[in-house]
A and B are shown apart, each in its own frame.
Chain A
Amino acid sequence: NEELWVQSVLEMPKRRDILAIVLIVLPWTLLITVWHQSTIAPLLAVHKDDGGDSRRDLAAGLDSKEYCLSDRDIVEVVRTEYVYTRPPPWSDTLPTIHVITPTYSRPVQKAELTRLANTLLHVPNLHWILVEDSQRRTPLITRLLRDTGLNYTHLNVETPRNYKLRGDMRDPRIPRGTMQRNLALRWLRETFNKNNSQPGIVYFADDDNTYSLELFEEMRSTRKVSVWPVAFVGGLRYESPKVNAAGKVYGWKTVFDPHRPFAIDMAGFAVNLRLILQRSQAYFKLRGVKGGYQESSLLRELVTLNDLEPKAANCTKILVWHTRTEKPVLVNEGKKGFTDPNVEI
């Protein structure tokens, strides 16, 4: 009995000590956990992030607790060393990316080129070749290019009109942008010597697509022709090259005519400049090209399937989207135009 009593006396202080330790340590643990999770901002009214929120009726003007604020809001601190030089300084070691963009005049043109330029301004060693479908280089584009600060070349060639149809219509047998892309290819061949070792990559970027910055870094290592998936083409979420275990392209994951030599969209490949200069007669076919075969008409003169280099994690990531912009409703302009034409849009 005595032993048991001594034992229990010895144990009791231990339990009490443990309880005391727990009561002291626990608040500190909680504090550190919460401090670790929270941001610089003071503790906000915490709301549990559950499905119940969707049933709650959000009337206007309620106080902020009704909104799904949680202490896990992602707030990233500005790195104070961020330098806003646009574009980035030229590097002697990076291959130049020559981006060829055909463009034509319509109400959304300046908007499209503005947001494309905002993307391109991030990319080091980028040379923008903008080719207008016009008789003359327009003041709008001249001003826009100058104001961006980008390294650019401004070209123009007018797709012939089909006067037999309507005075306004371009020749429908020539796909849009073809003559402009070919002019840019010719300019590259006239400007760069194929024996010159200036490394470069050529990419065709339409002015209404959306490009991630990662895409440009993927294409920079192109040796001959590199390929990757493109979103929103061919009636699909994306089209993609088929890549086997050996990392080689062996086919095309498309619904629309997957048996094309190169069942790929214009935005889905890049070509090493050296190859463009070597195969100096390779151009996009101007006429008699079936829908969807434009890209093949050029690529078949440059590479075989076996030579293609898959990018974007063996063609499993989407880095470019074939977005299209709605034609704006300008019904209130009327026949003669209502707004001041001197105000540039």
Chain B
Amino acid sequence: PPPRRPEAALPTIYAITPTYSRPVQKAELTRLANTFRQVARLHWILVEDAAARSELVSRFVAGAGLPCTHLHVPTPRRYKRPGLPRATEQRNAGLAWLRQRHQHLPPPQPGVLFFADDDNTYSLELFQEMRTTRKVSVWPVGLVGGRRYERPVVENGKVVGWYTGWRADRPFAIDMAGFAVSLQVILSHPKAVFKRRGSQPGMQESDFLKQITTVEELEPKANNCTKVLVWHTRTEKVNLANEPKYHLDTVSIEV
């Protein structure tokens, strides 16, 4: 096992997780928390797609067992069509919170942030890899792009291309789960956000990374991008066919 540095010296990892209400929400957050709680100095930024904080998530956060910031911002209805990018407002809310929180604190504040969707699967090794991010780091993602995995192509320690199943011509042909950004870069690019206007589907990551880095600057992780440490898993929609419309239960049990 790698030597353990004193915890005060560890850069904080900020995980920005957009979440929305549906039957499996609490289950997803539970198993995600079980992973995050294994990681030292991880600060979870949970952003609900909602007009107000829900009781379920508020209760969950209170007992989550790790440092957690609970935000919320609703997606405008006109952006809720299939094919349009999702969670844009929520990720931007996470960025805004980080920027505002740190504007009064003296630099440098070592930290790394990444975007953790609530249904993906993260190995503990991934966090070790991303913690040493100086500017922007990248790694492979499993089960995405219609393939077993996608990954940046690395030569001599530099990213030279993209091994991807979809639109490899994008400037950054990478999934949301495939990169992390140092806090310093986020703070020094205060206008870098996920965009709606002029953004084509599938270009969210690319349009964002374009604002803060170049391909040459990218730091390949996970053994020069040859190991899969994160998987783009998706959870099946729950079958509630037997739920009664009438004669509901006498108690109200949270699921």
B156 at interface by CB-CB < 8 Å: no
Interface of B is mostly: loop
Chain B stretch 31-88: residues in CB contact (< 8 A) with chain A: 31, 34-35, 37-41, 51-53, 58, 61-62, 64, 66-74, 76, 88
Contact with A along B214-247 (1 / 0, CB 8 A): 0000000000001110011111101111111000
Question: Do A58 and B149 touch (CB < 8 A)?
Answer: no
Find B146's partner among A61, A235, A326, A333 (CB 8 Å cutoff). A333
Residue numbers in B under 8 Å from A210 (CB-CB): 27-28, 30-31
Instruction: Report the 4 A-B pairs with minimum CB-CB distance, sorted nearest first.
Output: A235-B242, A332-B146, A64-B96, A321-B27
Interface residues of A, CB < 8 Å — how many?
A: 73
| Chain B residues with CB under 8 A of A211 | 31
Interface residues of A in 292-345 (CB under 8 A from B): 316-318, 321, 323-326, 328-333, 338-339, 343-345
Stretch binding the partner chain, chosen from A118-126, A176-184, A270-278 = A118-126
Minimal beta-carbon separation of B231 from chain A (angstroms) = 4
In the complex, whether B160 has a CB less than 8 A from a CB of chain A is: no
In the assembly, what is the distance between CA of A272 and CA of B68, in Å?
A: 37
* Given A68-B71, A236-B240, A343-B148, A324-B235 contact (CB < 8 Å): yes
B155: Cβ under 8 A from any A Cβ: no
A279 near B: Cβ within 8 Å?
no
A45 partner residues in chain B, CB cutoff 8 A: 100
A11 at the interface (CB under 8 A from B): no
Most buried by A among B62, B101, B140, B226: B101
Within the complex, what minimum Cβ distance (angstroms) separates A238 from chain B?
6
Say whether, besides A60-B194, A60-B195, A345 and B148 are in contact (CB < 8 Å).
yes
Instruction: Tell me if A18 is interfacial: C-beta within 8 Å of chain B.
Output: no
Q: Given A237-B240, A321-B255, A343-B228 in contact, is the A58-B76 Cβ separation under 8 Å?
A: yes
A67-122 contacts to B (CB < 8 Å) = 67-69, 73-78, 80, 82, 84, 86, 107-108, 110-112, 114-115, 118-119, 121-122
B residues neighboring A (CB under 8 Å)? 7, 23-24, 26-28, 30-31, 34-35, 37-41, 51-53, 58, 61-62, 64, 66-74, 76, 88-89, 92-93, 96-97, 99-101, 104, 121-124, 140, 142-143, 145-149, 151, 163, 165-166, 191, 193-197, 226-228, 231-236, 238-244, 251, 253-255
Task: Verify B196–A53 contact, CB threshold 8 A.
Answer: no
Check: A57 CB closer than 8 A to any chain B CB. Answer: yes
Judge if A145 is at the interface, Cβ distance under 8 Å: no
Determine, out of A161-169, A217-225, A226-234, the stretch whose residues face the partner at the interface. Answer: A226-234
The reply on A213 being an interface residue by CB < 8 A is: yes
Q: Are A69 and B100 in contact (CB under 8 A)?
A: yes
Q: Which residues of B contact A212 (CB under 8 A)?
A: 30
Contact of A235 among B165, B226, B239 (CB under 8 A): B239
In the complex, what distance in Å separates the CA atom of A316 from the CA atom of B148?
40
Given contacts A41-B101, A210-B30, A318-B255, contact A111 B148 (CB under 8 A): no
| A-side contacts of B122, CB under 8 Å | 114-115, 118
Q: Which residues of B contact A234 (CB under 8 A)?
A: 242
- A255 CB to closest chain B CB (Å) equals 4
Q: How far apart are the CA atoms of A41 and B43 in the complex, in Å?
A: 14
Add 12 more A-B contacts to A332-B166, A344-B228 (CB < 8 A): A44-B101, A67-B71, A111-B143, A111-B233, A114-B123, A115-B31, A119-B34, A235-B240, A255-B242, A325-B235, A328-B143, A331-B146
Contact B52 A73 (CB under 8 A): no
Q: Select B143's contact among A57, A67, A108, beta carbons within 8 Å.
A: A108
Chain A residues, Cβ within 8 Å of B88: 60
Q: Which residues of B contact A76 (CB under 8 A)?
A: 64, 66-68
Assess whether A2 is interfacial by the CB under 8 Å rule. no
CB distance from A243 to the nearest CB of B (A): 12
A122–B37 CA distance with the chains assembled, in angstroms: 9
Bound: A129/B38 CA distance, A: 22
What is the bound-complex CA distance between A317 and B63, given in angstroms?
15
- Say whether A256 faces chain B, with CB atoms less than 8 Å apart: yes
Which of A67, A317, A321 gathers the greatest number of chain B CB atoms within 10 Å? Answer: A67
Contact A115 B253 (CB under 8 A): no
A49, A80, A332: the one within 8 Å of B7 (CB): A80
B27–A73 CB distance below 8 A: no
Cβ of B51: which chain A residues have Cβ within 8 Å of it?
51, 53-54
Tell whether, in the assembled complex, residue A316 and residue B68 are in contact, meaning their CB atoms are under 8 Å apart: no
- Determine whether the beta carbon of B235 is less than 8 Å from that of A74: no
Taking a contact as CB atoms under 8 Å apart, the answer to whether A326 and B194 are in contact is: no
A139 proximal to B (CB < 8 A): no
Give Cα A211 to B194, complex, Å. 34
Whether B96 lies near A54 (C-beta < 8 A) is no
Bound CA–CA A141/B100 (angstroms):
45
Quick check: B27 and A61 within 8 Å, CB to CB?
Answer: no
Whether A291 sits at the interface, judged by CB under 8 Å, is no
Report B-chain residues with C-beta under 8 Å of the C-beta of A53: 51, 73-74
Question: Does A42 make an interface contact (CB < 8 A)?
Answer: yes
Chain B residue numbers with a CB within 8 Å of A339 are: 147-149, 163
Question: Which residues on A sit within 8 Å (CB–CB) of B228?
Answer: 110, 343-345
